[in-house]
Structure 1
């Protein structure tokens, strides 16, 4: 807010995790809003879930718009897709969730799940270290055709450079390697929906849903001499968690793409391959087109992706800002996006009802 006060930009857009609203009953968010109003800015706060805009992750985040008093305050774009719930909003700001009211007419596309975004990707192992490889399969659906489109098509450029031509090469499809012990643990996790640490031999679940060692069995050891079921796993959340070494499944979503793919505390294992999600799989879950190449170490690339605002959410907010800049947005807090917005790089021209689309 000090930076806003110094620069006095025409428009302000801020993003943060929803803990900003949970901490001290939303004191930080209320302070941010009051500072904007004190500086004579219009202000509008809302929470948007990435899954509502065509991605297979819930990822609820809070956004704060601000603008000068004589400008159009950008609206929040309404969801385009159904969403699978994997989280909750702070009760104090529940009315700030960007969505349709109960009973309000809507025409949403079905929720995007992991199978929609992963089914064309080649199988790789925990030891994969190639920076590029062939796709092997053609796009299987609308999302994959969109995400694999060359950069020139997405940007509406007629000039084709060596970096823009359509290619069969896939980049960044490699995982952060599991340790030797963790890899052996993961190999014993069944390849089925809901499988996790609790499926390893030598464990039982008591009446309180707490995992314990099976008293009728000797403790299973790995070749390293360490136990198959580590002690920390039984102590995590008092033994009631099911997240360690848990598999995602094809009809599910990721709660949130984080900066570190930690198999000890996240549901992050591939449904049918013994590894965590690759850099490219995490990037797709965030909506990054395949023409994005990430740089740095494997860990740094995961961090870049996990720290980003989901691309389809950024795109929707950018469209809203564009309408406000052109003085074409409404006065209410919400707006409706054009049809097929999330997985298209051609947008409807709001000035021409007969237009088939304009380049983004």
Structure 2
């Protein structure tokens, strides 16, 4: 049993959902530093990681040595680095060979690597969009692996689907884990299964799923569905708000999200226009359900309803607006509320969000589901537990 804290630095932290999942897995994880360029997202992270030093700055202008000074002032060091550098800069990635902590490069991934190289954590977790696996015929992700290998890490990556880990959403991501050479790399094992399509990737050993691990689903729970995630929330119409629960939790997932919370927040519906309400009334599984005279264009998933008995499609930053994605309530004639989106992302109801409704919706849509973070945390925790590493004070 570990008796010391395992200190986390959360880069590109957003809401802090990834590191929040770590702290939900074990109280021995502590987020000591969170960095993000968006003030509202960082303030959300700060509300849920009150012990952390938060830095609202473009990481490309931030020197690791200055961050280290702040940590030392608070008698803190770094054992684990987590984060998801935005993918826009991957086209220019080069092998990383620089020990200079004032590196002028502007690639966001390389800034992540710069911090790993400077702080030398025992482990790091890099989360990103699933397209990274095939970008430039997989040359980009090979370069990323090489970057970390050159600075002393063993590295592996897998494609995961959040629905396999108790999240009511088919959200696929690349998870890369790096450890100091010689330490074990432990990925999470699926706990839930669902039937449906997932990304096609030629190397099946890189895909974690219930299907790949067993010939039957007997060892797994069925994936959490949209209805199981949100059915206890009060029914409301377009433009309405509800601020109190009207029924008890209907299942374990709802009970876990609610905990002892007695105030319902963010359950407010978009005030849809009369034309949008007419479109919503016709909505079904895809855009093809909408009469042609009501719309002129859209993606196949635009103006469509979520299916109650399945996990949701991947939430986007526009999940309160049906024109751009599949986000209409399974039974009610409106888009999801921010609270319903947070439930589908696996946030507890007492998780605190900062900012305007628009900012909070974007934070939820961009977040790493905390329950996925919790699943990843188990393997990272075992690295420290099994190898008796000396962790932080």
Q: If the length of structure 1 is used for normalisation, what is the TM-score?
A: 0.70
In structure 2, the residue matched to 1:349 is none
**1:95-244 correspondence to structure 2 within 5 Å:** 95-99=205-209, 100-103=212-215, 107-128=219-240, 130=241, 133-150=243-260, 166-167=261-262, 169-186=263-280, 188-189=281-282, 194-201=284-291, 203=292, 228-233=293-298, 241=300, 243-244=301-302
1:245 aligns with 2:303: yes
In structure 1, the residue matched to 2:178 is 66
Q: Residues of 2 paired with 1:172 and 1:311: CA distance?
A: 18
Which structure: greater helix fraction? Answer: 2
Match of 1:295 among 354, 365, 368: 354
Q: 1:95-129 CA deviation, whole Å, 9 max, x = no partner?
A: 2112343538861011211111111110112202x
1:307 aligns with 2:366: yes
In structure 2, do the counterparts of structure 1 residues 182 and 40 end up closer, same or farther at CA, with 3 Å as the change threshold?
same
The 8 Å contact of residues 58 and 85 in structure 1, kept in 2 or not, is answered as no
Q: Residues of 1 paired with 2:123 and 2:157: CA distance?
A: 14
In structure 2, the gaps of 5 or more residues are 1-112, 389-393
Q: State the Cα distance separating 1:184 from its structure 2 match.
A: 3.0
Q: Residues of 1 paired with 2:120 and 2:312: CA distance?
A: 38
Q: State the Cα distance separating 1:24 from its structure 2 match.
A: 1.0
The structure having more radius of gyration, on CA atoms, is: 1
In structure 2, the residue matched to 1:12 is 124
Q: 1:294-317 CA deviation, whole Å, 9 max, x = no partner?
A: 221222111111211111110011
The 8 Å contact of residues 117 and 143 in structure 1, kept in 2 or not, is answered as yes
The 8 Å contact of residues 55 and 112 in structure 1, kept in 2 or not, is answered as yes
Q: State the Cα distance separating 1:197 from its structure 2 match.
A: 4.2
Q: Secondary structure at the match of 2:347?
A: coil
The 8 Å contact of residues 196 and 246 in structure 1, kept in 2 or not, is answered as yes
1:257 aligns with 2:369: no
In structure 2, the residue matched to 1:346 is none
In structure 2, do the counterparts of structure 1 residues 6 and 285 end up closer, same or farther at CA, with 3 Å as the change threshold?
same
RMSD (Å) for aligned C-alpha atoms: 2.3
**1:44-59 correspondence to structure 2 within 5 Å:** 44-59=156-171
In structure 1, the residue matched to 2:137 is 25
Q: 1:6-32 CA deviation, whole Å, 9 max, x = no partner?
A: 332221110001111121111221111
Match of 2:199 among 65, 70, 88: 88
The 8 Å contact of residues 12 and 66 in structure 1, kept in 2 or not, is answered as yes
Q: Residues of 2 paired with 1:111 and 1:120: CA distance?
A: 18
In structure 2, the residue matched to 1:35 is 147
Report how many aligned residue pairs link the two structures: 273
Q: If the length of structure 2 is used for normalisation, what is the TM-score?
A: 0.64
